[in-house]
Copies of this chain bind each other. A is one copy, B any other.
């Protein structure tokens, strides 16, 4: 017995064949909105692919493309012989490679950066190795204090190959580094992160309004673009009393 309701989308989803937006994406977007908006509650069974295709006057592959898009995001689950259901998990967003700035902005915490260092320097061998660019002559070094609500949260140190971006201090004050990199036309592809912990030194403590010996989170990250170049290397410390890393993971669970 299956008592789950079946949702008929034909009344709610409208596809404009003349729109430049792909039809599969129009369907996926409106389906996504219906799920997020609660009009398609968790557990709802979708109409079959053939029914959807008939209702929306699209071919089945197009419908499948739309559904697959949402399955990849973890919003829908398909089972052969059974049907397609809305996943019951509340937040099913895939893990994003995000920056502290984006995270805080998403929370409405009005993040700010105080720029301590923003300059191009000769690259020593260690730094060049971290950027995986052995012959690199010059690097841009950034050192910022990130605050929210008037309280310091983190000290962030970044190294970038010279020439990628040339941000003014004001840019860094109001925008995340990732945002600036994307604006410069870079396509970020992947990153390696290492998250650890250590005790605050006297210098950490002074910058972060903590006591020496307080618990700090550390994060080191190397970010790559599509061509495999290192775009940025960062070493950051966060006040454990005021910050933690939150990850939403879907798919590929081992």
Contact = CB atoms under 8 A, between A and B. Distances in A.
A189 B228 contact: no
A137 interface: no
Interface stretch (A23-31, A164-172, A244-252): A244-252
Interface stretch (A10-18, A51-59, A92-100, A140-148): A92-100
Q: Give this chain's copy count.
A: 2
A253 interface: yes
Interface residues of A, number: 56
A227 B85 CA distance: 9
B197 A253 contact: no
Contacts of A254: 96-99, 102, 178
A213 interface: yes
Interface in A166-219: 178, 188-199, 213-217
Contacts of A223: 253
User: Which 3 pairs across A and B sit closest by C-beta, in order of nearness?
Assistant: A88-B228, A197-B197, A197-B240
